[in-house]
Structure 1
Amino acid sequence: MHLLPLAPNAGLTATTPIGEGMTVSHSHGNHSIASPADQAQIQPEAWLAIQSPQLNSDVSNTAASFPAHSLVAALRSAALFLGALTGSCVTMAQEPSATASTDVVEVEEVVVSSRTPDLIDQIGVSVSVLDEDTMQSLGYPDLASLLDTQPGVTVTMAGGYGKAAAVRIRGEEGYRTRIVLDGINIADPSSPQVSPRIEHLVSSGLTRVEILRGPQGLLWGADAGGVILMSTTDTVAASGVEGYLEVGSDDFYQGAINGVLSTDQLTASVSLSQLETDGFNAREIDSVDPDRDGYENTTAHGALSWAISDAISLQVAATDISGDNEYDGCYDTATFALIHDCDDEYEQQAWRGALRYASERHTVELSYASSDTERAFFSAGILSYETEGETDTTSLIGAWRLTGNTRLTYGVDHEEQALSDASTDWSRDNTGIYLEAQQRFGLGVVTFGWRHDDNDDFGEFDSWRISGRYDLDGMAEGWALRAAIGTGFRAPSLYEIAYNNGPFAYPPASSAPLLEEESEGWELALIGAVGNLDLELIWFDQEIDNEIIFDLAGYSGYLQTTGTSQSEGLEIIASLPLSERWRIEGNFTSLDATQQNGDDRAYRPDQTGQVSIVWTRNDLRARVTGRYTGEATDPFMTSIDDTFTIDLSAQWDLSDRWALEARVLNVTDHDDQQLPGYYVPGMTAYAGVRVKL
């Protein structure tokens, strides 16, 4: 069995900004631009699939330069997906029972595209949104499962709750996804390549999640190929307390309490959740007297917004996350024998304070955020390895509406990252300045952004993004075109540098200095409606030059590749109201993700999709969700079969205060593995009660 890439100097071990309240809607007729109001001993195959830069590159891609067979396959699958949604489209368009359009349509407002509020029909990049009602309807307690339902997003998990996981957007590596919670960058600098610890993020306490799928999250960082922006606040929430309790299979327990205090000048919120499960045996190698691999998570969020005056406000947010995970496949600290009594403890404390000034045309915000993470790995109860990571960020961001159709967004971020593993310390600063101009003209809007980064170790770089949207009214009523193109760069992470300078690296990795990666991507979208069917088609392409990968041939460390890796694909998003009670919605992604030599990238399914049938009647709501993951390959080009999972969820409002909830996951009880050698949860059932006071 091959050993994993070890943590730097480890022993033998196996692996918001302006507009934080993101819930405002505007009437569709208002077209003016909105004013800004490990890894040390994780299991080998899982580590490769989830943390290795080479293998964590892309999820499912297929786009502009499809090979002929890929294009045919993508179109065939797309046709089947659309057929399922449009079979009754013409009929439904004529039935009075179908949901009728109104004169005034609410248009959602998002922050993730430009770090300042934008109407979603005024941006030129792809953004999807999970609001609180949708998250509650889906019923998943972990953020990873929620994200896995979204277009262009794939989450790889090595077992059940709390097990190592990676989120990939349009096939890009997990560490190219910026994850932001209440304005705080919560990535862990002590993880391989600054990977976000998605497996420890629960959905309880979240009010909204926005996902920027590409091509570049320019204003969030030159290395942000995608952005996941989470909020625990709701600016329109009324004062009150809500509690939730759920129990289920595998000795699962989840309890949560959320409270909000809202006055004319002050809004405060706090949430506390506890999740525990005894789990199941997660790995095939634990075959002799196998044990269950459990998980515990305690998460607390708190936020405060104080309107000091009509123009000045103060905001504070804080988060504390504690996760304790049991897994298989670590090494005894005395004999170095492979054992399965392994624990991974994770702690993260993060906070942010911001002072904001807002006038009719100008908003400016000064903030400071800090995130501290600690990881500790135990073999048979004995500490084998531990790390600490810290990220401190000082930001100034402003938005100036020069006219009703012109806006400038500007800012500067100074970020300090540090990594320590008790035997070595690494740190680095990066300063980025950015400017974005948005101009609306007639039926169109165009945005141009520029960013300049000065990195302590790798010097200065410029990146840019141009995006736009044009409504086709007069040519094709209700349809619009959207397009974006941009560039980015990623400096080698502290982890990559530390590993190659540590005692476990050797030539060629230890003797080859790492350089920055450079990226370029574009997307083109067509948005509109056919009868009652809302439809969105997006073609995208992303290229990475000089990609940094882990040496899987000689395990010498991190190497720089020559050439270009590519992720290209097609996304389809659709929603169709069948009647006042029934609705069907879903998405499909076809992906072609290739390495520099033309081989498929590992663990990138060629197709992914999700379809939900939603039923609502007065105080009852139910949802059937099917998730499909297509065929993929592992790092050694071994095929991984496709999987299809069906989940059920339902909510019943007994009164204004009391509600019952239930869900059944993996209804067909399939055992198809997402990662070879790692079991998936079988059919599990859960029941819960929710109370509002």
Structure 2
Amino acid sequence: MKYLLLAGIASIAPISVHAQVATDVQAPAPDAAALPEAQEAGGSNAAEPGTIVVTANRAPTEIDRVPASITVLDKAAIDRAGDFVVSDLLVRTPGVTLSRNGGYGTLTSLRIRGAEADQTVVVVDGVKINDPSSPGGGYDFSKLLVGDATRIEVLRGPQSILWGSQAIGGVVNVVTPLADAPLEGSLDVEAGSRDTVSGRAAAGGRTGPLSWRIGAQAFTTDGISAFDEGTERDGYSNRSVAGRALLDLAEGISADLRGYYSDGRVDTDGFLTDSLEYARNREFVGYAGLNAALFDGRFRNRFGFGYTDTDRDSYNPARARPQTFDGVGRNERYEYQGSVGILSGIDAVFGAEHEESRFRTVSPPASLAVAVPAASRAKADITSVYGQLNAEVVSGLTLTGGVRHDDHSRFGGQTLFAGGGVWALPTGTVIRASYSEGFKAPTLYQLFSEFGNEALDAERAKGWEAGAEQRFLDGRVSIGATYFERRTRDLITFASCFGAAAAADPLCRTPGTGTARFGYYTNFARAFAKGVEAAGRVALWDRVAIDGNYSWTSSEDRSADSAGFGRQLPRRPRHAWNVAASYTVPNALTLSAAARHSGATFDNAFDFTRLSSYTLIDLRGEVPISDTVRLFVRAENLFDEDYRTAAGFGTLGRSIYAGFRGRF
């Protein structure tokens, strides 16, 4: 592995020699959080020409040079939707579905193109976040408030070449802004149904070499019963703060600090009945980096350290010992990333990463007479090198190729590949095709908990997609569609230790003790997903805007000898669509309406419990009262649709909110 690291670093030298003669080349900044707010565009399901994205290449890249499918939500789109949590924004985009175990704050699982909920990489201001103490190691979207987010990108399909483990379904990148004025600020206050109150405030400025911004959000609601037949409300509260600072140290040299912290409490209903149970979640994300741009900015480098700390606790006041769970997960990530402009239209992104993960979990018994068992503890690390080359071989035609090697301390190494092309024609036609691979390393919980199996291998996926988009009237009208397939193997599942066969299974005994256990994790499952995503946009007369998308996703169990072979995986509707329309009277009024449909699906792998299809209608009105302040009112689930995204759990009915938004 050390020779691969040396080779990756040494490759910088010959590339930089070429960059010296490419006098007309400006390499992109090697950082997924480095996109200036002034470059933002888009906000609909079909990106406008000229839109700059960062997630696909981990560096600012024009959308027409990206072969993968990506959706961009800018600040205007985020404000227009008015959602409290990021997951409610994402579910309006192509290929994305979610399930939630109750109201705000309860477990929220997001699935991209039918992948597992823990197969999505989440990035906040360039820092990859997950929870090593959770069984699947995925991210619970319930705790991610919109806050001061200025831009959200959704990259679909296997993306492990640049983003590493977990990126089988795709990547969600959330970016907060940096100030570009001497002093600026924003304020959002909103209140409504179920005593829901949300307040957001942010301030920032730029003075000399220092640019900074800090934003905070407080959210509270009485909520609904998490149990769909319950009578008592399960409330939720969350406080979060995020900040960024960039200090120019010298010409081309800067220091970068970023941080995010949230503290939430949610009432829950255990075993699908009203109860007094609740959970606490505290999360900290930090980053410190040094940026160096050489050769007039053609060769850019970033050295960074990222840290995430997630602390989860669950309580049941009805027990003699109230605490039912205590879990802590930590990640430390050291990384180098470079980007270089080789020739006009040819650039590369490359880097090396080392991530160390730790976890501790314990489930205290209810009785005070029984001692609390020793906590499960473990750690693992993974070292990676990667590179991707982007080349415009002829006018409008860009080809991309990438490779990545990972060396995991527990299950060894592997190499992944990706490639694709995009052709932007003068007629307004854009054709895309790509092949990509992804993987997900076993989590610490799956390896070392009381149900752990240290012989686990990584989950692996291979996928491809092809699509086209046609633009008219200088991009004001567009329509496009994409077909995709993804095959995933060695999926990690839980095997129960019941029945006569379990007695002869050595894995049904805890390693090292021989004590019988309820089950263990194993590589068994396979899945095959395919589908079509279509999207369109119309923007006319600077007053009327209509956009929509439709997704057909077939995501099937392909596990050998599985009772569910050939069946649609649970909580993944085959059909989903979104449509939104708005009408604006300049300096007077904006009215908008949106509809979201989710087709029928099943709650489990054996099709025992059916979740019916549903359609939700939202309305919104907004009035400016000055150049900087706007009043708004919105209604969600206007017709009070009764629906379920997970069997046994309630959903929000009709909700009315009103407030104001200020930008100063």
Partners of 1:117 and 1:291 in 2: how far apart?
48
In the TM superposition, residue 621 of structure 1 has moved relative to its aligned partner by 2.1
Is 1:622 the counterpart of 2:591? The answer is yes
Instruction: Give 3-state SS (helix, strand or coil) of 1:194's partner.
Output: coil
For 2:184, the aligned partner's letter is G
Measured at CA, do residues 233 and 138 of structure 1 come closer, stay the same or move farther in structure 2, by a change above 3 Å?
same
2:35 maps to which of 22, 44, 56: 22
Is 1:589 the counterpart of 2:551? The answer is yes
In the TM superposition, residue 404 of structure 1 has moved relative to its aligned partner by 1.1
For 1:655, the aligned partner's letter is S
In the TM superposition, residue 246 of structure 1 has moved relative to its aligned partner by 1.0
Aligned residue in 1 for 2:335:
395
Instruction: Give 3-state SS (helix, strand or coil) of 1:561's partner.
Output: strand
Deviations 1:340-359 (A, max 9, x none): 11101000111101100113
Aligned residue in 2 for 1:326:
267
In the TM superposition, residue 556 of structure 1 has moved relative to its aligned partner by 2.1
Q: Which region of structure 1 is more displaced relative to structure 2, 365-374 or 218-227?
A: 218-227
1:219 maps to which of 162, 181, 189: 162
Partners of 2:251 and 2:431 in 1: how far apart?
39
2:410 maps to which of 457, 460, 467: 457
Contact 1:222 1:463 in 2 (8 A): no
Measured at CA, do residues 665 and 285 of structure 1 come closer, stay the same or move farther in structure 2, by a change above 3 Å?
closer
Give the percent of matched residue pairs that are identical in Structure 1 and Structure 2: 26
Partners of 1:23 and 1:607 in 2: how far apart?
36
2:603 maps to which of 630, 634, 656: 634
Contact 2:179 2:212 in 1 (8 A): no
Measured at CA, do residues 238 and 170 of structure 1 come closer, stay the same or move farther in structure 2, by a change above 3 Å?
farther
Instruction: Give 3-state SS (helix, strand or coil) of 1:175's partner.
Output: coil
In the TM superposition, residue 106 of structure 1 has moved relative to its aligned partner by 6.1
Contact 1:330 1:342 in 2 (8 A): no
Partners of 1:431 and 1:466 in 2: how far apart?
22
Measured at CA, do residues 371 and 143 of structure 1 come closer, stay the same or move farther in structure 2, by a change above 3 Å?
same
Deviations 1:433-485 (A, max 9, x none): 00111111222001110000000001110001102101244xxx111211110
Partners of 2:497 and 2:95 in 1: how far apart?
30
Deviations 1:240-280 (A, max 9, x none): 22222111000101111110112342210001110000011
Aligned residue in 1 for 2:286:
351
Partners of 2:448 and 2:106 in 1: how far apart?
25
In the TM superposition, residue 496 of structure 1 has moved relative to its aligned partner by 1.2
Partners of 2:195 and 2:147 in 1: how far apart?
19
User: What runs of 5+ residues in structure 1 fail to find an aligned partner?
Assistant: 1-15, 29-81, 86-104, 332-337
Aligned residue in 1 for 2:581:
613
Partners of 1:113 and 1:27 in 2: how far apart?
15
User: What runs of 5+ residues in structure 2 fail to find an aligned partner?
Assistant: 1-28, 363-374, 499-517, 559-564
Task: Write out aligned runs for 1:22-61 (5 A).
Answer: 22-23=35-36
Is 1:436 the counterpart of 2:371? The answer is no
Is 1:231 the counterpart of 2:165? The answer is no
Partners of 2:181 and 2:566 in 1: how far apart?
51
1:131 maps to which of 74, 86, 99: 74
Contact 2:179 2:205 in 1 (8 A): no
In the TM superposition, residue 622 of structure 1 has moved relative to its aligned partner by 2.5
Aligned residue in 1 for 2:312:
375
Instruction: Give 3-state SS (helix, strand or coil) of 1:133's partner.
Output: helix
Q: Which region of structure 1 is more displaced relative to structure 2, 453-462 or 541-550?
A: 541-550
Task: Write out aligned runs for 1:84-95 (5 A).
Answer: none
Q: Which region of structure 1 is more displaced relative to structure 2, 211-220 or 411-420?
A: 211-220
Instruction: Give 3-state SS (helix, strand or coil) of 1:136's partner.
Output: helix
Is 1:689 the counterpart of 2:660? The answer is yes
TM-score of the aligned structures, taking structure 2 as reference length: 0.84
Contact 1:26 1:119 in 2 (8 A): no
Deviations 1:174-226 (A, max 9, x none): 21111010111221111121110210001121111111112324201143121
Is 1:263 the counterpart of 2:234? The answer is no
For 1:691, the aligned partner's letter is G
In the TM superposition, residue 690 of structure 1 has moved relative to its aligned partner by 2.4
For 2:195, the aligned partner's letter is D
Deviations 1:27-49 (A, max 9, x none): 99xxxxxxxxxxxxxxxxxxxxx
1:361 maps to which of 287, 298, 302: 298
Is 1:340 the counterpart of 2:275? The answer is yes
Contact 1:242 1:691 in 2 (8 A): yes
Q: Which region of structure 1 is more displaced relative to structure 2, 443-452 or 260-269?
A: 260-269
1:309 maps to which of 241, 250, 260: 250
Measured at CA, do residues 692 and 408 of structure 1 come closer, stay the same or move farther in structure 2, by a change above 3 Å?
closer
Is 1:386 the counterpart of 2:348? The answer is no
Aligned residue in 2 for 1:493:
443
Contact 2:453 2:520 in 1 (8 A): no
In the TM superposition, residue 489 of structure 1 has moved relative to its aligned partner by 2.3
Contact 2:37 2:177 in 1 (8 A): no
Is 1:425 the counterpart of 2:398? The answer is no
Partners of 2:37 and 2:82 in 1: how far apart?
24
What's the C-alpha RMSD, in Å, of the aligned pairs? Answer: 2.3
Is 1:163 the counterpart of 2:106? The answer is yes
Partners of 1:256 and 1:24 in 2: how far apart?
19
Aligned residue-pair number: 583
